[in-house]
Structure 1
Amino acid sequence: MNDKVLVVDDEHEIADLIEVYLQNENYEVLKFYSAKEALACIEATELDLAILDIMLPDISGFTLCQKIRERQYTYPIIMLTAKDEEIDKITGLTLGADDYITKPFRPLEVVARVKAQLRRYKKYNPGYGEDVEKDIILHSGLVMNIKTHECLLNEEPLTLTPTEFSILRILLEHKGNVVSAEDLFHKIWRDEYYSKSNNTITVHVRHLREKMNDTVENPKYIKTIWGVGYKIEG
């Protein structure tokens, strides 16, 4: 069965272009030019990934992203923004988006990002685990089930986006060692569009800490090693 990708953009030419390129890669594309139309699809369809434009005429892409996460859907979300403004990127990531692409973009870049997100999402979801003994990670009240993509903290469920889950898993698997933001980025996305000014990982870590009631000043789980990276103490 082909992966289902939701595309929402009121600029018809852009939405149509993304559709063509994704269909050429054998994705099933569900395309909408407004958020309200897309909402009905989100409720009725089992999706694998969503591409949302921020500037929509009826409901903003930010709101649409938030509604998807409020409904506990964990599939990856990629935001499209016409403005190369850091605040838009941070807002999208904070609301639960996994990645962002600034317009104008190359269609092949969109395809590459979609493939990277789906590859990671499938790796950490049910049906893709290979070693049962490695499916469960335990640490200080934290229980991570890699196979079912579930995480409990002190017996309470943590609702994590795919990127947040990936970051936490990597830090747990490297417990006791520092992992740099750049290493986290490459382990998750496996490509080269990271730069020193990129704060994507920083935003995701901050959001992860908020969900875990962790703090920078007195961390119980994720510790920042300034100028180096992040670590979870062994």
Structure 2
Amino acid sequence: MNVLIIEDERPSARRLQRMLEKQGIVVNQILHSVEESIEWFSNNDHPDLIFLDIQLSDGLSFEIFDEVEVKSAIIFTTAFDEYALQAFKLNSIDYLLKPIDEEELEHAVNQFKNNIPEKKNVQLNFEDIRKLLSNPVERQYKKRFTTRIGQHIKMIAVDEIECFYSENKGTYAHTFEGRNYLLDNTLEQLIDEIAPQEFFRVNRTFIVNINAIKDIISYTNSRLQLKLNSFREQEVIVARERVKDFKIWLE
């Protein structure tokens, strides 16, 4: 199966790629914008299946189809609310609601495999969806988390959190006040639930808040070391393969 992902949020794209690889599906290409996608489709053979985010950094993904005739099956990935999704149901278009659930992803892929003849070369009518999305909906990210402390449940506002980190199979939120709280979420789940403008996953263990970074220091093997506001438990290192995206995120 030839699979393409079009997603402007790079952590979300990588997470979806990993989930597909768990199912034995190799992702041949990841694209991040309308402009890049139009150019790619104009110069490459079209894949069997596309996972396509609705709202890309430079416009709605439907603009791709205004420029090129895409000969692929499409599963949309979206964070839009249920009202907007009514148009997808009306047009019988497959979609996955973000953050993507592994079981729902597997179901969508199996649906595609079972209906390959019907899924290809379909004339898609997006007018109902365009009307609903004519005023782009801003994605809503989590504003707080809860954690249990003894018999009590404490609420932690996201803007109080300096970083998230994993340790000994647990996931923790470290606050600007210097306290650590155990969460039920994994880092994989968190990266889709918090605003990407404010938080960045620097390596497999840490997600940092941009407002918590006090200093950035060159480190060995082309990596970077971060000094945070109050976190002192261990070094926070930007992985070498993440340095380029990290620098873009800072800007």
* TM-score normalised by L of structure 1: 0.44
* TM-score normalised by L of structure 2: 0.41
Give the structure with the larger strand fraction.
2
Larger RCO (alpha carbons 8 Å, 6+ apart): 1
Higher Rg of the two aligned structures: 2
Give the structure with the larger helix fraction.
1
